[in-house]
Chains A and B, each alone.
Chain A
Amino acid sequence: MALVVAGLAVGVAALVAILTIVLSFQKGIDKKLDTYGFNIVIYPASSNLSLSYGGMTISGVDTYEVKSLLMADLATIKRSHSADSVAALSPKLLQVVDSKDKKALLVGSDFNQEFLIKKWWRLNGSRPTRPDELVLGQDAAKNLQVKAGDTLKLSGKDFKVAAVLQPTGSQDDSLIFGDLREVQSLYKRGGELSLIEISAKSTADIDAVVKDLKKALPQAAVSSIKQAVQYREKAVGSLARFGLAITAVIMLISGLIVFTTMTSSVRDRKREIGIFRAIGYRQSVVARIILTETLILSLIGGAIGYAAGFGIVFMLPAFLKKFEFSVGLNVPVLILSIVLAVAVGLVASLVPALRAANMDPADALKSL
């Protein structure tokens, strides 16, 4: 009987471990989606260059030869049907700059909108209040060897480093953020924009907003961050399918263990079952006794498997831990574990239970 519990526990443990990992990856993706802050990006429709920004590959952001978006496009967006669905609108101009003989990417942006979108930004220093103030990503500051309060010369002009970002884990760490109009005028790119980030009020609105903006800005490409995330989801989906296939095989083996154990148990208890039948237990009652026994063992197996599954996740190599596994009582997974253990247990012991029920009492009790 311990074999029944162990067999089911192993199967359920595998399922719980795999589910926990997959759900954690999924959660990680959702979190990533949230931390992008924006969920729609508009950029020029064609270009020879491509740029990876915010985890997406954006073609058409030509940082040297701008034929790109214009400030006027902002007004177009604000007039569009989707204006009400927009929570924040952050125009950006990207410019490669040289400073201290090092190349860096300067992002001209509207700080008010930027801070609105990137609520998770934590500053070492203060928020820029003047056009000649900058915010540097952690890596950019390290690379250029500056800290909050220092001065940084860009294209011959002195800028004050108002703040350095605390590590964000995103591309922002390697960027220099400056005032949009200041960057536009310094690099003689007045009115130009490289891209516009939009934060929709609700993720449910994204598709509608994208569709509408594509119509409003035919010269631009409008892309939803969802597309980038879909790739990750696809990868997690493959992992989930692979994991579930393994779990299915393990559960099949668990089922076979239950089947053989219950079959041998029924054989060993031939006399006992014979007594039950002789004293007037119906076949259905005998089958129910065997199935109830399996049910109890399956419940125990499922519960142990659930706990063991989390144990496995805890023991995973440290590099996987960065996904912040949501280890704890997960009711749907618990219910699934128990239901699966019970289902496999009951299906596997159906044949032994029927054998027991059909046992001839006279044959079972050799003495009669």
Chain B
Amino acid sequence: MSLVVVNDLSKYFGNDGDTQVHALEHVSFEIANGEYLAIMGPSGSGKSTLLAILGAMSPPSSGTLVIDQIDVYALSQEKRADFRREYLGFVFQQLQLIPYLTAVENVMLPLVVTNHKNKRELAATTLERVGLGDKLNRLPSEMSGGEQSRVAIARAVVNNPPILLADEPVGSLDSKTGEEVLGLFKQLHSEGQTIIMVTHNPESIRDAERLVQLKDGRIVADLMTKDVIPATKFL
């Protein structure tokens, strides 16, 4: 059974008429548990809109999103917040670390509103998992770009969420640091993590198993990457 079922999602911005923007149109696909999916497309293709909907943050204009048999947008706002906390981990494009919190405090953020015991220990262990066990008390400003990315990833997985959502995770990194981050995603995937990554960079999808390509708000391709990797170089 699929972990994520996207059924006929459409998203429109603006009022009816000529000014209305159709960001997504009748998008449907499914994601299996443990799958590593990349969503690609040029700017304005609707990939960020799709990620916001998959992230339970932006209700679609029509269609449904079912995750683990839960109709996400049938939930109330507060229940949806609980759902995000329980099911989803986010790695944002700009990382979005809180500048005045240390690495371990940033990673603890999702735990603050949970009943987890030993929140600090769990955050520290997660940071060790991403190779930052010796930099727990550093502020983001005292860390390199790669290290900040690791903190962001640790924060996304500290809750052990079934799904990891990443928005251009290597977009702002140099190639060496980007490699490190992609390596970390690969490692998490090998541990059974379901990953949904939005990117416009063909290099980033190297380790993904499946590629969904968007254009003008519609799916134009849904492929296994092992079949298309050479071709993606020309995307």
Contact = CB atoms under 8 A, between A and B. Distances in A.
5 contacts: A280-B84, A280-B113, A362-B55, A367-B48, A367-B168
B113 A281 contact: yes
Contacts of B84: 278-280
Nearest to B100: A272
Given A281-B112, A367-B92, A368-B92, 13 more contacts: A274-B96, A275-B109, A278-B57, A278-B90, A279-B85, A280-B83, A282-B82, A285-B113, A360-B57, A362-B58, A367-B94, A368-B55, A368-B93
Contacts of A365: 92, 96
Given A368-B55, A368-B167, A279 B93 contact: no
Contacts of A360: 57-58
Interface residues of A, number: 20
Interface in A257-307: 271-272, 274-285
B16 interface: no
B81 A281 contact: yes
User: Would you list the 6 A-B pairs with minimal beta carbon distance, nearest first?
Assistant: A280-B85, A367-B93, A362-B58, A362-B52, A362-B57, A280-B84
Interface string A307-318: 000000000000
B70 interface: no
A280 B77 contact: no
B110 to A, nearest CB: 5
Contacts of B94: 367
Contacts of A277: 57, 81
Contact of B81 (A280, A367, A368): A280
Most chain B beta-carbon neighbours within 10 Å: one of A276, A361, A365, A367: A367
A280 B96 contact: no
B82 A272 contact: no
B78 A283 contact: yes
A114 B102 CA distance: 77
Interface in B166-198: 167-168
A281 to B, nearest CB: 6
Contacts of B58: 360, 362, 368
Contacts of A283: 77-78, 81
B51 interface: yes
Nearest to A279: B110
Nearest to B114: A280
B117 to A, nearest CB: 18
B25 interface: no
Contacts of A284: 78
Contacts of B221: none
A195 B72 CA distance: 91
Contact of A282 (B81, B92, B93): B81
Given A275-B98, A278-B84, A368 B48 contact: yes
Contact of A368 (B52, B78, B85, B110): B52
Nearest to A280: B85
Contacts of B168: 367
B203 interface: no
B216 interface: no
B163 to A, nearest CB: 13
Nearest to B77: A283
Contact of B109 (A271, A279, A282, A361): A279
A368 B23 CA distance: 13
Contacts of B83: 280
A282 B55 CA distance: 15
B55 A272 contact: no
